[in-house]
Amino acid sequence: MDYKVSEYVKMLDINSAKEEVERMLSQKIEPKEIRNQIFLGLTEVGRKYERGEYFIGDLIVSGMLVKEVLALEEMKDSSSANSPQNKGRILIGTVCDDIHDIGKDIMTELLASGGIEVINLGVDVPPQKFVEGIRKYNPDILGLSCTMTTSINYIFKTIDVIKDAGLRDNLKIIIGGTAISKKYSNINLADEIVNDAYKGLKICQEWVGKNS
């Protein structure tokens, strides 16, 4: 599939990003602060997309770049040495008929670095698989990601199936993804709807904090 990408994002490359990370590390800037800056930049990309300044291709390219930077040994070693003890568990996945995983995987990285155990079911997850995952892992939170507007209905279907299975009452549900615009802010079956990674992390940490 040929996605349109803005000229600015076309200039991004992993080598220059790696050089910048190494420069910041050499200046004794903590990996945690570098990750904070990376996620702030990614949040701004999302805002530009919502305003029509960026395209879906920009989201994909930016997300791929962030994933590669976070996978650098310098970042992995530093983050694992200082990562907090897990408190709470989230089951997360991209809903059925949607194969986009970049935003979800970046959120997964942020949640894990924030001390929450993450069970990632992947993409194109049918409602029943979410039910099976809830029964198997007993998560505190369910995260549903949706990038394609054509898959919006699977958010409703998934939550309905969870309710029918009797698993909704003690489960917090958070929804995110580029398909979740203000138009869908009335999805009242979920506990929270966010498109800001940091806001989502803070919400999840607050939820699991109350359960501890």
Same structural domain, 103 and 151: yes
The confidence score (pLDDT) of residue 173 equals 96
The confidence score (pLDDT) of residue 79 equals 40
The confidence score (pLDDT) of residue 124 equals 96
| Percent of all residues in the chain with a pLDDT value above 70, rounded to a whole number | 82
Same structural domain, 95 and 198: yes
Higher pLDDT, 91 or 53: 91
Same structural domain, 74 and 173: no
- Which segments of 51-167 does DSSP mark as H helices, in order? 56-70, 73-82, 102-113, 127-137, 153-164
Q: Does residue 2 fall inside a structural domain?
A: no
Q: Does residue 60 fall inside a structural domain?
A: yes
Instruction: Spell out the long-range contacts of 51-54 with Cβ–Cβ below 8 A and sequence spacing 24 or more.
Output: 53/6, 54/6, 54/9
Q: Does residue 1 fall inside a structural domain?
A: no
CATH of the domain at 128: 3.40.50.280
Coil, strand or helix: which one is 125? strand
Same structural domain, 22 and 112: no
Query: Which domain range does residue 65 map to?
Result: 7-82
Average pLDDT over residues 186-202: 80
Region of poorest pLDDT, from 5-14, 18-27, 108-117, 125-134: 5-14
- Rounded to whole angstroms, how far apart are CA atoms 176 and 147? 8
Q: Does residue 63 fall inside a structural domain?
A: yes
Whether the CB-CB separation of 156 and 187 falls below 8 Å is answered with: yes
Domain boundary among the residues 82, 105, 129 is at 82
Q: What is the DSSP string of 30-71?
A: -HHHHHHHHHHHHHHHHHHHHTTSS-HHHHHHHHHHHHHHHT
The confidence score (pLDDT) of residue 8 equals 55
Same structural domain, 162 and 107: yes
Higher pLDDT, 197 or 153: 153
The confidence score (pLDDT) of residue 158 equals 96
Q: How confident is the model at residue 14 (pLDDT cuts 50, 70, 90)?
A: low
Q: How many helices (H) and strands (E) does the chain have?
A: 9, 5
Coil, strand or helix: which one is 117? strand
Domain boundary among the residues 22, 52, 82 is at 82
Same structural domain, 119 and 63: no
The residues that bridge with 174 in the sheet, in sequence order, are 143, 192
Structure token digits, residue 88: 């709470």
Q: Does residue 65 fall inside a structural domain?
A: yes
Question: For strand 141-145 and strand 172-176, is the pairing parallel, antiparallel, or unpaired?
Answer: parallel
Domain boundary among the residues 63, 82, 101 is at 82
Q: What is the pTM of this model?
A: 0.70
Same structural domain, 94 and 196: yes
The confidence score (pLDDT) of residue 169 equals 93
Give CA torsion, residues 44, 60, 206, 188, to 10 deg.
100
The confidence score (pLDDT) of residue 203 equals 93
What are the tens digits of pLDDT across the range 36-84? 787 777 767 767 776 788 877 777 777 778 777 877 777 764 444 444 5
The confidence score (pLDDT) of residue 12 equals 65
What are the tens digits of pLDDT across the range 118-168? 999 999 999 999 999 999 999 999 999 998 888 989 999 999 999 999 999
Same structural domain, 66 and 94: no
